[in-house]
Amino acid sequence: MGEAPTFIPQDLQNGTCNGFELKSGTFETDTIVGNKKYVIGGTYGETFSVKDQILDNNGLGEWVDLIQLGTKPISCNGHSAVLLKDRILILKKNAKPDDCIWFLEVDTPYVRQQKKILGIDVVAWSKGVIGNAEKPVVISGPSGVGKGTLISMLMTEFPSMFGFSVSHTTRAARGMEKDGVHYHFTEKNVMEKEIKDGKFLEFASVHGNLYGTSVEAVEMVSDAGKRCILDIDVQGARSVRASSLEAMFIFICPPSMEELEKRLRDRGTETEEQVLKRLRNAQAEIEQGKSSGIFDHILYNGKLEECYENLKKLLGLDGYVTPPKSAPKKMNLPRDHSVSKIDDKIIIGCISSGLEKESKNLIMLDVSSLKGGAPGRTRGLDFQVIDSFSDGFNGNEPF
């Protein structure tokens, strides 16, 4: 990666590296984690590269280009790196507010699990997001019980509050269904390849077709500041339970098998063979839904209005008046900044005056309660603008 620089501005004790320019438009940071050195390189407009070196006693060793999972950030005008135990925080210089904080996970539980599954050394990227997202809601239940009906009632009444996680499926679209709205209708081989590439949070074979929730489907809803709703089967709910995504799990039960059959037939969207298959699967799904311990709540969908009211109660929405939305906090990093670390606080010194007020030249980024992570987003970041170190970090004015 070009010739070695004469000066590497890395504070090894602190695990911070303010980055250095190798040649015009190409930047690098070095971060030492245990006996490994991670070199993260970025050339303007291109995705980041990562290689590591297992250090011997002389601080030397063989270089390996690492497989990077997740969405790779695009480099702009340099970056800094800060080591946080099992991951490296990357601050992109001069980047847009929603693109300036990234994490390269090197030894998190997700990365360790992926190394085991793939049998190779990997690292994983996730984008950092200020603040927290509301817990997604997973809704499961047998085919024809009324999941779609209840979800669409919720989205119609609270359009700015909820967003639907659009699943991928290999089944054919029904008459009124739109690609990208109800499902991403896809070919089996394409979906299988994407599953292998780690793009799915969960997937399952249901009624003879492949269904799955992509990481992006959930994150896009959360990025828009909405609470994500997932309509997935019991196997999918089990996988989400086991994943790093914290969610609320609701199972919808029919009042009787006869009523379920009637709803399925009256809907008229399936062939006789498909109806029979769905009814055969329903019994087992209901048993699992009730007894598996996956679900936090069970709702009976007898009378639709009653069930909908109960669903709203579970979501804390009965008698709810929508409050005006406050703008999410954003952070804009100027090109020239330096980073240092004090416990769980990252201090970002803004060298050029990219800030509104000249005196507000320090940003404190709190990374004490990170949530989520690769292969999605890392949330729970908080920041404050502080006037100067001598103020003892007492500024808490939103930036």
Ligand X SMILES: Nc1ncnc2c1ncn2[C@@H]1O[C@H](COP(=O)(O)OP(=O)(O)O)[C@@H](O)[C@H]1O
Residue at 369: amino acid letter = S
Pick left, alpha or beta for residue 34 (phi over 0 → left; psi -120 to 50 → alpha; otherwise beta): left
Q: Rule CB under 6 A: is residue 301 a binding residue for ligand GDP?
A: no
- Candidates 28, 30, 105, 231; binder of ligand GDP (CB under 6 A) is 231
Helices 304-314 and 147-157 cross at an angle (nearest 10°) of 60
Q: Rule CB under 6 A: is residue 227 a binding residue for ligand X?
A: no
Which residues, 6+ apart, have CB-to-CB distance to 239 below 8 Å? 201, 202, 203, 204
Q: Which helix (H) or strand (E) holds 216?
A: helix 215-223
Q: Which does 49 bind (CB under 5 to 8 A by kind): ligand X, ligand GDP, none?
A: none
Pick left, alpha or beta for residue 354 (phi over 0 → left; psi -120 to 50 → alpha; otherwise beta): alpha
Please state the length of the chain: 399
Q: Which residue's Cβ has the minimum distance to ligand GDP?
A: 236
Shortest Cβ 141–ligand GDP spacing (Å): 7
Shortest Cβ 337–ligand GDP spacing (Å): 41
Q: Rule CB under 6 A: is residue 386 a binding residue for ligand X?
A: no
Q: For tokens 């135990």, name the residue.
A: 85
Q: Is 267 a catalytic residue?
A: yes
Shortest Cβ 238–ligand X spacing (Å): 18
Q: Rule CB under 6 A: is residue 167 a binding residue for ligand GDP?
A: yes
- Binding to ligand X, residues 12-51 (CB under 6 A): none
Q: Rule CB under 6 A: is residue 114 a binding residue for ligand GDP?
A: no
Q: Is 112 a catalytic residue?
A: no
Task: Lay out the site mask for ligand X across 172-211 (x = CB under 6 A, - = otherwise).
Answer: ----------------------------------------
- Per DSSP (E only), the strands in 85-178 are 87-92, 101-105, 122-130, 137-140, 162-164, 167-169
Tell me if 347 sits within 8 A of 341, measured CB to CB.
Answer: yes
Can you tell me the distance from the alpha carbon of 341 to that of 347, in angstroms, rounded to the nearest whole number?
6
Q: Rule CB under 6 A: is residue 144 a binding residue for ligand GDP?
A: yes
Q: Rule CB under 6 A: is residue 151 a binding residue for ligand GDP?
A: no
Q: Rule CB under 6 A: is residue 70 a binding residue for ligand GDP?
A: no
Can you tell me the distance from the alpha carbon of 139 to that of 342, in angstroms, rounded to the nearest whole number?
42
Give me the residues paired with residue 212 across strands.
168, 203
**Could you tell me the two tokens for 148?**
């779609």
- Candidates 147, 227, 238, 379; binder of ligand X (CB under 6 A) is 147
Q: Which of 87, 227, 278, 377 is catalytic?
A: 278
Q: Which residue's Cβ has the minimum distance to ligand X?
A: 146
Show which residues are catalytic.
174, 267, 278
The residues that touch ligand GDP, with contacts defined as CB under 6 A, are 140, 143-144, 148, 167, 171, 202, 204, 206-207, 211-213, 231-233, 235-236
